[in-house]
């Protein structure tokens, strides 16, 4: 008796490991776009979930960015239902021209729809089809931003209700699995549009694999795994430091959200005592605690704040998103709204 195609076996094993977190009767939803990655994931979940007494459905998000998007969504719904997934539904979202570009706006709309679907159905997890190649592209983009270990740590396998089972599986394997299972996938034309940064990173990765030899994507993905462990430890140390410096400050890990503007004060001597790798993360948390939008803070901002204690020569306030300012006076640094203009 022959078993599944090796690529199908690899996808199923990855899914089985992810579903091991579930208890019998739990519901998981697959975010399925109809592309090879999410379709291979859907098929593997449909195969593995019943063996663990886990219920499995799918959510298809129609971004409305292509003339045939509604027809594509209907076809993907039919494919997921044919696999035996239930509940299966599609959600139409509006993607505006966000300040950070179309990719970011589409991602925000997609996650909003997935969150709503998961809450409505009582799903424990939402499974995403990102592969090892996607992870490598994420690391490559992080290198171009030059924003430290967290940026190079790529996408986490687990965060809140989201799980990425396929980060150890290649894009080639998902396509081979779909072919072996007789599944016809949809290629999003946006994935070939060089106007998008991720598409350019994908092409650059292909060039690197050609010029440096195979294995570049796998090496970048391994780098992400290693750096994420380092970044997680440094984030924990930074959280502990903030709790000691400003006990009333809320927890503001990595990508936290800004709160209402408030003024945060920290003694210079306490900041200087921290290792720089921790202190730069502390600056980010202090700024967010004061009301800075997390998505707008950059290394440039935290480095300028750090100069207030490591290269102090009487410089003026540091401008931060919010708008906020960081100032040094009387042996302490304060972060808060700028003073009113007279």
Cα 160 to Cα 169: distance, rounded to the nearest angstrom: 22
229 belongs to a structural domain: no
Cα 142 to Cα 140: distance, rounded to the nearest angstrom: 5
238 belongs to a structural domain: no
CATH code of the domain in which 200 resides:
3.40.50.620
273 belongs to a structural domain: yes
The reply to whether omega before 323 is within 30° of 0 (cis) is yes
Maximum alpha-carbon separation in the chain: 84
Please indicate, yes or no, whether residues 66 and 197 belong to a single structural domain of this protein.
yes
Cα 72 to Cα 188: distance, rounded to the nearest angstrom: 10
Please indicate, yes or no, whether residues 206 and 267 belong to a single structural domain of this protein.
no
Write out pLDDT tens, residues 264-280: 999 999 999 999 999 99
Q: Mean pLDDT throughout 95-115?
A: 82
Write out pLDDT tens, residues 162-189: 999 999 999 999 999 999 999 999 888 8
Quote the Cα angle for 86-89-91, to 5°: 155
234 belongs to a structural domain: no
The yes-or-no verdict on residue 99 having pLDDT over 80 is no
Chain mean position to CA 301: 22
pTM of the entire structure? 0.80
Cα 333 to Cα 135: distance, rounded to the nearest angstrom: 38
Cα 160 to Cα 89: distance, rounded to the nearest angstrom: 22
Please indicate, yes or no, whether residues 332 and 290 belong to a single structural domain of this protein.
yes
Q: What percentage of residues in the chain have a pLDDT greater than 90?
A: 59
pLDDT-derived band at 56, boundaries 50, 70, 90: very high
The yes-or-no verdict on residue 254 having pLDDT over 50 is no
Q: Mean pLDDT throughout 101-129?
A: 92
Parent domain of 328: 246-336
Please indicate, yes or no, whether residues 280 and 161 belong to a single structural domain of this protein.
no
Please indicate, yes or no, whether residues 251 and 216 belong to a single structural domain of this protein.
no
The yes-or-no verdict on residue 51 having pLDDT over 60 is yes
CATH code of the domain in which 289 resides:
3.30.465.60
Select the more confidently predicted residue: 282 or 98. 282
> Positive or negative, the Cα torsion across 202, 204, 210, 212?
negative
Phi then psi for 3, rounded to 5 degrees? Answer: -90, -170
- 281 in Cβ contact with 236 (< 8 Å): no
Domain closes at, from 163, 187, 221? 221
Write out pLDDT tens, residues 145-164: 766 677 788 899 999 999 99
1 belongs to a structural domain: no
- Looking at the structure of the chain, the number of domains it has is 2
Cα 87 to Cα 3: distance, rounded to the nearest angstrom: 29
Write out pLDDT tens, residues 7-37: 999 999 999 999 999 999 999 999 999 999 9
pLDDT-derived band at 257, boundaries 50, 70, 90: very low
Cα 86 to Cα 89: distance, rounded to the nearest angstrom: 9
Please indicate, yes or no, whether residues 134 and 63 belong to a single structural domain of this protein.
yes
């Amino acid at each position: 008796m022959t078993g599944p195609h090796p690529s199908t076996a690899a996808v199923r094993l990855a899914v089985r490991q992810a579903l091991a977190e579930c208890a019998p009767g739990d519901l998981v939803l697959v975010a399925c776009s109809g592309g090879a990655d999410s379709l291979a994931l859907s098929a593997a979940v449909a195969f593995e979930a019943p063996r663990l007494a886990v219920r499995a459905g799918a959510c298809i998000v129609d971004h409305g960015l292509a003339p045939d998007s509604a027809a594509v969504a209907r076809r993907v719904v039919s494919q997921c239902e044919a696999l035996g997934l239930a509940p299966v539904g599609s959600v139409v979202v509006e993607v505006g021209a966000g300040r950070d570009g179309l990719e970011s706006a589409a991602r925000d709309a997609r996650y909003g729809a997935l969150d709503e679907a998961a809450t409505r159905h009582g799903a424990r997890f939402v499974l995403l089809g990102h592969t090892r190649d996607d992870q490598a592209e994420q690391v490559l983009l992080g290198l171009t931003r030059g924003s430290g270990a967290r940026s190079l740590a790529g996408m986490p396998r687990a965060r809140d209700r989201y799980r990425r089972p396929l980060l150890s599986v290649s894009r080639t394997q998902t396509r081979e699995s779909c072919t072996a299972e007789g599944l016809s996938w949809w290629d999003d034309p946006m994935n070939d549009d060089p106007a998008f940064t991720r598409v350019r990173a994908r092409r650059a990765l292909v060039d690197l694999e050609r010029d440096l030899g195979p294995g570049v994507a796998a090496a970048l993905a391994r780098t992400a795994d290693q750096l994420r462990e380092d970044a997680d430890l440094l984030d924990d140390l930074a959280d502990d430091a903030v709790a000691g410096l400003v006990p009333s400050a809320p927890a503001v890990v990595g990508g936290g959200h800004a709160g209402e503007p408030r003024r945060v004060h920290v003694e210079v001597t306490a900041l200087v005592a921290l290792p720089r790798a921790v202190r730069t993360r502390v600056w980010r948390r202090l700024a967010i605690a004061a009301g800075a939008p997390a998505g707008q803070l950059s290394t440039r901002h935290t480095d300028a704040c750090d100069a207030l204690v490591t290269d102090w020569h009487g410089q003026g306030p540091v401008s931060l998103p919010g708008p906020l300012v960081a100032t040094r006076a009387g042996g302490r640094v304060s972060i808060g709204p700028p003073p009113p203009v007279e």
